[in-house]
Amino acid sequence: MPVNYEQNISGDTPFKPEYEEFINEYKGRGSLKVQTSVAQDAFPIKGVFVDVALIYKGKRYSIYHDVTDASGIVNEIVLPSRLTAATQSPETADDGEPVYLVSVFHPGFEEVVDCPVTIYDRTETILPISLNPTNGQMEDGA
């Protein structure tokens, strides 16, 4: 079961003040689903470590991590976004959406680092990632 995004940030993290500022700036909420597979999306990969990071004020913060299930999925990662109304107002329409960076790691597969993904308010974004075996062959359990 994925961890709630807002519970991922503890009071001990140096990101806490910036996080409060960030969520006040981006009051919308969207979700991200990461799907990992191999062999031209034919087989899901269980046990892939998924990390979601954010560049905020010039610093990189890892804000969420989980491991894919038997279907190769990490589901319902809730992330801040701009409110839908802000995208429809002439004053704020040009303001950018937050861009998150997704990295995936699994022994036996080439890692994928900093795949950009944009999250929109009240929308589920699906990010399919196809991994390549490091030895050129299918791994057991893939």
* Domain residue ranges of the chain, discontinuous segments joined by +: 5-129
3-state DSSP assignment of residue 108: coil
Residues 63/54, Cβ–Cβ less than 8 Å: yes
Question: To which H or E segment does residue 18 belong?
Answer: helix 16-25
Q: Considering only CA atoms, which of 127, 88, 119, 104 is closest in space to residue 23? A: 119
Nearest to 116 by CA among 131, 130, 98: 98
The CATH number of domain 5-129 is 3.40.50.920: no
Query: Which pLDDT score, from 0 to 100, does residue 129 have?
Result: 95
Neighbouring CB atoms inside 10 A of 104's CB total 22
Beta strands in 27-67 (DSSP E): 28-38, 43-44, 49-56, 59-67
Query: Residue 47: which residues within 8 A CB-CB, separation 6 or more?
Result: 67, 68, 106, 141
pLDDT of residue 5: 36
Distance between terminal CA atoms of the chain?
21
How do the residues of the chain divide into helix, strand and coil, expressed in percent and rounded to 5? 10, 45, 45
Pairing of strands 99-105, 49-56: antiparallel
Residue 6: band (very low, low, confident or very high) from pLDDT cuts 50, 70, 90? very low
Q: What is the pTM of this model?
A: 0.78
- pLDDT tens across 62-121, in order? 889 999 999 999 999 999 998 876 666 666 556 677 889 999 999 999 999 999 999 988
Type of residue found at 107: P
